[in-house]
Amino acid sequence: MEATWVYLLARLCTCVLWGATGIYALFHYRETVAKMAKNHVPWPTVMLVPVLIMKFGGTLMLLTNQFVWLAALVWSLYLIPVNFMFHYPLYDKQGQFDFQQMINFTKNLSLIGGLLALALLDPDKPRWFLDLLQ
């Protein structure tokens, strides 16, 4: 019973981040595209569409407890290149250490760890997924 409650709480807490950033990007589409272009994302206008689908689709999957493992895996894989595009290097143009970038970089690493744990908590995850992680 307790594990079910924790699993629900983990899903809901995770949805807040992805849903909120998706809503922001949707209502600030031009600014988001400009930030993506500044960070060398190829075809930012086109690429933002699948990002929004991933954010809203994954949020819906977690809220409805359907394919949680898949949403968590996709979000984890998404965070890897995003982390390097947006939060690396950890030094500014003058060579000074950028503490905020380090926080954002390590926060995303922590998110990946939490997402992988959430995927493992999904009782409906396929056997091949478990085999992949062992």
At residue 118, the 3 state secondary structure works out as: helix
What pLDDT tens digit does each residue of the chain (134 aa) get? Answer: 456 888 999 999 999 999 999 999 999 999 999 999 999 999 999 999 999 999 999 999 999 999 999 999 999 999 999 999 998 888 888 999 999 999 999 999 999 999 999 999 999 999 998 888 77
Give this prediction's pTM. 0.89
Q: What is the pLDDT of residue 1?
A: 42
> CA 101, 72, 30, 36: dihedral to nearest 10 degrees?
40
Q: Measured between alpha carbons, how far is 70 from 115 in angstroms, rounded to an integer? A: 10
Q: What is the C-alpha to C-alpha distance for residues 23 and 28, in angstroms, rounded to an integer?
A: 8
- What pLDDT shows up at residue 100? 93
